[in-house]
Structure 1
Amino acid sequence: MADVIDDLEAEHDAFEALLDELSPDDWSAPSAAAGWTVTDVVLHLAQTEEAIPAALAGEISGVEWRRFGDDVDTAMDAMVRSEAATPADIFERWRSARQASVRALRAADPGRRVQWVASTLKPRSLATTRLAEHWAHALDIAVPLELAYPDTGRLRHVAWLGVSTLPYAFGLEGRPAPALFCDLTAPDGSSWQFGDPSAPSSITGDAAAFCRVGAQRLDPAASGLRTEGPDGEIALRLLRNYAST
């Protein structure tokens, strides 16, 4: 489990470096997350990181979002609205939370599932979801402010998350999970492959675009990704690498 937690910590480091670049005006600027400023995005990440140690200890059932709304998006927005603070305080709150969450993940029983948002996850998968969320929200900050946030090999975890949750996504549509092969080109030009190459349906193309589609930061039609077979196109449409309910 150490590999993904190491990469989560590296993603945290990259995110912190991005925040260190921000001017005071940047913190109040609109992010690419609808309705949220940059400060709101960081507060959301702090709130959700803070829930990890308690969830892993069995003290709470993950992020207790149902107290704030009937669906995840509405609840997360209400949570952010309930705890306004200065950018400096929120930055420090996130720093403390990210350190505590990594410590808790490293100490966790790797085989014990815990409740997290809409499902139960083992610690490795939980670490992967946190990496994916920090990466996606880093884009929400970097893109509108025209700041650099380079794609890295850590996106392999994000791509794996998208592929591994497709059966759940198909189930929500009342469809059986199809056999699917994904052949994705990594940021360094290597190939990341998921699934059976003989599967009747496939998705091929840029891994970073695949991850952005899964984060709903890129329209599938604009991604340049290629689909084949009876289920390739719908798989790309249903692709998600975050929790929902």
Structure 2
Amino acid sequence: MPDASAVTAAVLDDMREESDELDLLVAGLSAHEWASPTPAEGWTVAHQIAHLNWTDEVALIAATEPDAFPAEVERALAAPATFVDEAAEAAVAALTPEALLVEWRAGRARLQEALRAAPAGAKLPWYGPPMSVASMATARLMETWAHGQDIADALGVTRTPTARLRHVARIGVRARDYAYLVRGLRPPAEEFRVELLGGDGGLTVYGPEDAAQRVTGPLLDFCLLVTQRAHRDDLAVEAVGEDAGRWLDIAQAFAGPGGPGRTRQADR
């Protein structure tokens, strides 16, 4: 069985690589391209990077000043529908794209350093349940990939899926019950079987092999679903069983209220 510290280090390496890949996508953009609208209503490419930078900053607080994190939760609870948008808008208004890029690079480097220095077994506070360092890194990778998808869509860029998608899928599966609870619903008692085929032909599986409720499909499509970057009807993710089908309608890999998701391509 792999050593826990080695597993955490590997996730942190993947987290850094995900950010570096997105950095390559935005580093050479013109001012006009930074202002391009993304599929997230009201958000430009700059808003997407500003949000990632802000989330890295609050993750750094969680890792280095956990006693101060409840104040961040209070701010979120005071304006649950707007606090994320307000943080992104404030950064875009205050910083040029060049300055925003510098801040994002410095912030994610500080977060990498802090997470690597965190004590073994540490539990970091967050807007949802507390997380291990590996889980925090997975969450940051997931969000970087998801917002990177918004940017790629805005720029008309098709990204090549990587093996890092397994982290996005894992957090989506582990957040199954949270997706129910955040909507005031009771999670199913039984585990689901999830089988996802990667572009390399490899299979990523979760849950018991004999589970009655099952989800299958391409790894990329499942990741787009749980990050709510595409509508279920536009993806090749299939469910067997009523409970599994219901989950695919509400699945989310992120903390906080369930998002509105994306409209079907046919309705745009």
**TM-score over 0.5 for the pair:** yes
Q: What are the ranges of 5 or more consecutive residues in structure 1 without an aligned counterpart?
A: none
Query: Is 1:214–1:239's contact at 8 Å kept on the other side of the alignment?
Result: yes
Greater alpha carbon shift after TM alignment, 65-74 vs 45-54: 65-74
- The TM-score, its normalising length taken from structure 1, stands at 0.93
Same amino acid, percent of matched pairs:
32
Partner of 1:133: 143
* 1:113 positional shift: 1.2
Q: 2-side partners of 1:177 and 1:24: how far apart?
A: 51
1:1-245 superposed matches below 5 A: 1-57=8-64, 58-61=66-69, 64=72, 66-67=74-75, 70=78, 72-83=80-91, 84=93, 85-171=95-181, 172-245=184-257
Q: What are the ranges of 5 or more consecutive residues in structure 2 without an aligned counterpart?
A: 1-7, 258-268
Q: 2-side partners of 1:177 and 1:238: how far apart?
A: 17
- The letter of the residue matching 1:99 is A
Q: 2-side partners of 1:109 and 1:71: how far apart?
A: 33
* 1:48 positional shift: 1.1
Greater alpha carbon shift after TM alignment, 18-27 vs 208-217: 18-27
Q: 2-side partners of 1:40 and 1:126: how far apart?
A: 22
Query: Is 2:191–2:211's contact at 8 Å kept on the other side of the alignment?
Result: yes
Q: 2-side partners of 1:178 and 1:169: how far apart?
A: 15
Deviations 1:2-61 (A, max 9, x none): 111110011011011111242221001111221111111111111111222221122521
Deviations 1:203-223 (A, max 9, x none): 001010001010111111221
* 1:69 positional shift: 5.9
* 1:179 positional shift: 1.6
Query: Is 1:110–1:124's contact at 8 Å kept on the other side of the alignment?
Result: no
Deviations 1:180-211 (A, max 9, x none): 00000112121000111101100001010001
How many positions carry a matched residue from both structures?
245
Greater alpha carbon shift after TM alignment, 230-239 vs 133-142: 230-239
SS at 1:231 equivalent: helix
Query: Is 1:48–1:63's contact at 8 Å kept on the other side of the alignment?
Result: no
Query: Is 1:62–1:114's contact at 8 Å kept on the other side of the alignment?
Result: no
Greater alpha carbon shift after TM alignment, 82-91 vs 63-72: 63-72
Q: 1-side partners of 2:170 and 2:71: how far apart?
A: 23
